[in-house]
Amino acid sequence: DTEVTQTPKHLVMGMTNKKSLKCEQHMGHRAMYWYKQKAKKPPELMFVYSYEKLSINESVPSRFSPECPNSSLLNLHLHALQPEDSALYLCAVSTGVSGELFFGEGSRLTVL
Amino acid sequence: DQQVKQNSPSLSVQEGRISILNCDYTNSMFDYFLWYKKYPAEGPTFLISISSIKDKNEDGRFTVFLNKSAKHLSLHIVPSQPGDSAVYFCAGGIQGAQKLVFGQGTRLTINP
């Protein structure tokens, strides 16, 4: 069973499009994360939600807009992206206190 | 400033032998460390962690060693199996800070 589910797995969008990435967790953890990973690079933290409130924003451009509608869902809204934003976007959850992150399989985004 | 470094981009080991993956860190505030394994087109999966109060943690074929004075940790896999072929990331974090910093990863290839 995949306890952190991300959709879509692949997304191709133009620079003028508006799209969203979705993440759903079934682990009951209260911290949810968005990471971005480019080829041959480590995952880079973008946002952290703790108890459905944004607690960390790593100076991410406003063309990325996160949303946490409830404790199970995390969205990343995309608008006016650039080709260099093409990457694997990873959702993760944790207890928020310490310990491991549980990652989803990622959404592979290509911006044309 | 790269706080977590994996200086070997790749490592090739014969099946049945020991694989040793290394990681160095600069942030002395890190009080726990984790290793993740990543297959292509999948999210990272948690392998093993270690708290800074310990110098060794073992889980089956996987052992992590921490040398705080040298700011160095290593992951030992014994015996290595073909299914271990993947990219391995080490990460450091601070309890309660909700943020992990990842190294660049080491691609491990296990040869039959």
Q: pLDDT of A74-88, one tens digit each?
A: 999 999 999 999 999
Q: What is the pLDDT of residues B35-58, one digit of tens each?
A: 999 998 788 999 999 999 999 999
- Out of B45, B98, B102, closest to residue A55 by CB: B98
Nearest to B104 among A42, A45, A48 (CB): A42
Of all residues in chain A, the one with the smallest CA distance to B106 is: A40
Helix (H) and strand (E) counts in chain A: 0, 11
| pLDDT beneath 70, residues of chain A | 1-2, 96-99
Instruction: Measure the CA–CA gap between B48 and B34, rounded to whole angstroms.
Output: 6
Q: What is the pLDDT of residue A29?
A: 87
Between vectors from CA B40 to CA B38 and to CA B42, what angle results, nearest 5°? 65
- Residues from chain A that touch B99, judged by Cβ atoms under 8 A, are 45, 48, 56
Residues of B in contact with A59 (CB under 8 A): none
B/e letters for A74-87, b = 16+ CB within 10 Å, e = fewer, are: bbbebeebeeebbb
